Amino acid sequence: MISIQFGNEMLCKEARLALRDAIELLSGKWKICILQQLEFGDKRFKDLQEVVVGISPKVLTKELLELEQNLLITRTVNNTKPITVSYSLTPFALEAQAVYDALLTFGIQQRKRIKEAIAGNGSLQNVAV
Amino acid sequence: MISIQFGNEMLCKEARLALRDAIELLSGKWKICILQQLEFGDKRFKDLQEVVVGISPKVLTKELLELEQNLLITRTVNNTKPITVSYSLTPFALEAQAVYDALLTFGIQQRKRIKEAIAGNGSLQNVAV
DNA sequence: AAGTTTACTTTCCTAAAGGTAAGTGATAAT
DNA sequence: ATTATCACTTACCTTTAGGAAAGTAAACTT
């Protein structure tokens, strides 16, 4: 059904839509980072704020909501002294881990290449520092 | 060096930056689709416009330029009757293929899940149709 | 001379992403 | 009573992504 497996150029509609959905859900500055951090274990809101460097509470709230609505994480309210909320991955999120791995592998090589490429001209436009 | 391999929670700086670079480069609605289409072979500007459904010439130009600057594609001017320009993948782009594969696999499963989840409530918010 | 094809470019616009800063409300410690 | 902590929310603003439509320039066809 997925035309890439037949080697032709027409991505069948379902595959095209799947790709678009995945990009739409996982694109953006923060989602992959949040999922990655949750791979190490459940985290509270505040933990995530600290460990996902640079994210604001507003944006964190929004990202967590979207991930929850897409069934990749679950939100649990704990009855602790000052109330805390834990976020944890659902089993579904494991498939997103493959995306993370591929991005990391790619990113590491890409940084090497770009750094080499700019070694000659001195500018640093395409890699974060 | 990459802390994920040591199982702890501190992504070392280089890994974090690599991830950010990769997301920055490959995020967005079109890049992955363009790379995917070029996997099937070189394409001219006009071919890409047709095969990457919905993209405008302005945006296509911009995306191609960014991919070229990041060494993932090369641009070649052919001396044909009406001039044509071919775009082709560099060997580096092969690593991005892993990202595509992971996204597609994830996206297919994700669409299944979301469709099942909304089968009960009738809305269709999180999947493209 | 007029029209077609290719590969763009330019202008204008809207919507979404994301940042900053301050505020809220519940509970608990001092 | 005051202050602190946690998990947000709200208001405001800037930047970026992306879309629509038209235009341009070179070369070829008719």
The answer to whether position A125 is within a domain reads no
Range of the domain at A18: 3-119
Q: Is the pLDDT of residue B124 over 60?
A: no
Closest-CA residue to A99 (of A125, A72, A126)? A72
The answer to whether position A127 is within a domain reads no
Six-digit token pair at A111? 């940084």
H or E segment at B18? helix B13-26
The nucleotide lying nearest B79 (C-alpha to C1') is D27
What ipTM was assigned to the predicted interfaces of this complex? 0.85
Please tell me which of the candidates B19, B98, B106 has its beta carbon nearest to residue A33.
B19
Any B CB within 8 A of A53 CB:
yes
Give me the residues paired with residue A53 across strands.
Answer: none
The answer to whether position B125 is within a domain reads no
A23 and B18: CB-CB below 8 Å?
no
Any B CB within 8 A of A57 CB:
no
Which positions on chain C have an atom < 7 Å from some protein CB?
Answer: 4-11, 17-23, 26-29
Distances (CA, A) of A38 to A18, A51, A93, B7, B82: 24, 10, 10, 13, 54
Closest-CA residue to A27 (of A89, A70, A87)? A70
Between CA B28 and CA B66 the distance in angstroms is: 12
The answer to whether position B129 is within a domain reads no
Any A CB within 8 A of B50 CB:
no
The model's pLDDT over B69-109, given as tens digits with 9 standing for 90+, comes to: 999 999 999 988 788 999 999 999 998 999 999 999 999 99
The answer to whether position A19 is within a domain reads yes
B128 and A22: CB-CB below 8 Å?
no
Residues comprising chain A, all counted: 129
Whole-number pLDDT of residue A2: 37
Distances (CA, A) of B45 to A62, A76, B80, B83, B113: 38, 50, 14, 11, 36
The answer to whether position A128 is within a domain reads no
pLDDT band at residue A119 using 50, 70 and 90 as cut-offs: confident
The answer to whether position A103 is within a domain reads yes
Domain tally, chain A: 1
The model's pLDDT over A6-26, given as tens digits with 9 standing for 90+, comes to: 344 455 788 888 999 999 999
The model's pLDDT over B20-77, given as tens digits with 9 standing for 90+, comes to: 999 999 989 999 999 999 999 999 999 999 999 999 999 999 999 999 999 999 999 9
Whole-number pLDDT of residue A1: 40
DSSP B35-91: HHHHHTS-EEHHHHHHHSTT--HHHHHHHHHHHHHTTSEEEEEE--SS-EEEEEE-T
The CATH number assigned to the domain holding A50 equals: 1.10.10.10
B107 near A18, Cβ under 8 Å? yes
With b for 16 or more beta-carbon neighbours within 10 A and e for fewer, the B54-75 pattern comes to: ebeeeebeebbebbeebbbbee
DSSP A74: E
B36 near B72, Cβ under 8 Å? no
Residues 4 through 43 of chain B touching chain A, CB cutoff 8 Å: 4, 8-9, 11, 14-29, 32-33, 36-37, 40
Any B CB within 8 A of A96 CB:
yes
Between CA B128 and CA A19 the distance in angstroms is: 10
- Reported for A53-62, long-range contacts at CB under 8 A and 24+ positions apart, including other chains, are A53/B16, A55/A30, A59/A30, A60/A30, A60/A34
Six-digit token pair at B95? 């690593």
The answer to whether position A39 is within a domain reads yes
CB < 8 Å to B127, chain A: 17, 21
Whole-number pLDDT of residue A3: 38
